[in-house]
Amino acid sequence: MSADTNNGPIVGMRHVQALLIFLNITIMFIGRLNVGVSVVAMTNAETTNPDFPEYEWTAAEISYILSSFFWGYIFTQFLGGYLCKRYGVKSVMFWGVFGSGVCSALTPLFIGFGEWQAYCGIRVIMGLAQGLVFPCIHQHLAKWSPPAERNRLGALSHTGIECGNVSAMFLSGMIAKSSLGWPGISYVSAGIAFFWCALWFVFAADNPTESRFIGERELHYIESSLKHNEKYHKTIIPVPWKAIWTSAPFLALLIVRCSENWGLSTLQAEIPSYMNGVLGMDMKSNAFFSALPFLAMWCMSYIYLITADVLLSKNLVSLTVLRKTYNSIAFWIPAATLIGIGFLDKDQKNFAIALMTISVGVNSAQTIGSVLNTIDLSENHASILMGIVNTAANFVPIATPLVVGWIAEDTTDRSKWQIVFIIASVIFFVGNCIYLIFGTAVTQPWDAEDYLQIKEPELAKGPASFATPKEEFSLKTNENTKENSNATIR
**Tens place of pLDDT per residue across the chain (490 aa):** 343 445 777 888 999 999 999 999 999 999 888 887 788 788 877 767 777 888 888 877 877 887 888 888 989 988 888 888 888 899 999 999 999 999 999 999 988 888 888 999 999 999 999 999 988 998 898 888 888 888 888 888 988 888 888 888 778 878 888 888 888 999 999 999 999 999 999 999 988 888 888 888 888 888 888 776 666 666 677 889 999 999 999 999 999 999 998 888 877 666 666 766 777 765 455 556 667 788 888 889 899 989 998 998 888 999 999 999 999 999 999 999 988 888 877 777 788 788 888 888 899 999 899 998 999 999 888 889 998 998 898 888 777 777 877 887 776 777 888 888 899 899 999 999 999 999 999 999 998 877 877 554 443 344 433 344 434 434 344 444 333 434 333 3
Nearest-angstrom CA–CA distance, 246 and 255: 14
Whether 9-226 and 241-447 share one fold: the answer is yes
- Whether the pTM exceeds 0.85: the reply is no
Q: How crowded is the C-beta side of 218, counted as CA atoms within 13 Å?
A: 20
What crossing angle do the helices spanning 396-407 and 414-438 adopt, rounded to 10°?
150
Residue 457 dihedral angles phi and psi, to the nearest 5°: -60, 150
Domain range 9-226, CATH architecture: Up-down Bundle (1.20)
User: Angle at the Cα of 30 (from 295 to 130), degrees rounded to 5?
Assistant: 125
Question: Does the domain formed by 241-447 have CATH 1.20.1250.20?
Answer: yes
CB atoms within 10 A of CB 58: 10
CB atoms within 10 A of CB 458: 7
CA distances from 306 to 4, 22, 302, 365, 389 (A): 22, 17, 6, 12, 27
Nearest-angstrom CA–CA distance, 329 and 362: 7
Domain residues of the chain, as ranges?
Answer: 9-226, 241-447
Identify the burial level of 115 via C-beta atoms within 10 angstroms of its C-beta, where 0-12 means exposed, 13-18 middle and 19 or more buried.
middle
Nearest-angstrom CA–CA distance, 278 and 381: 46
Q: Are 438 and 320 in contact (CB under 8 A)?
A: no
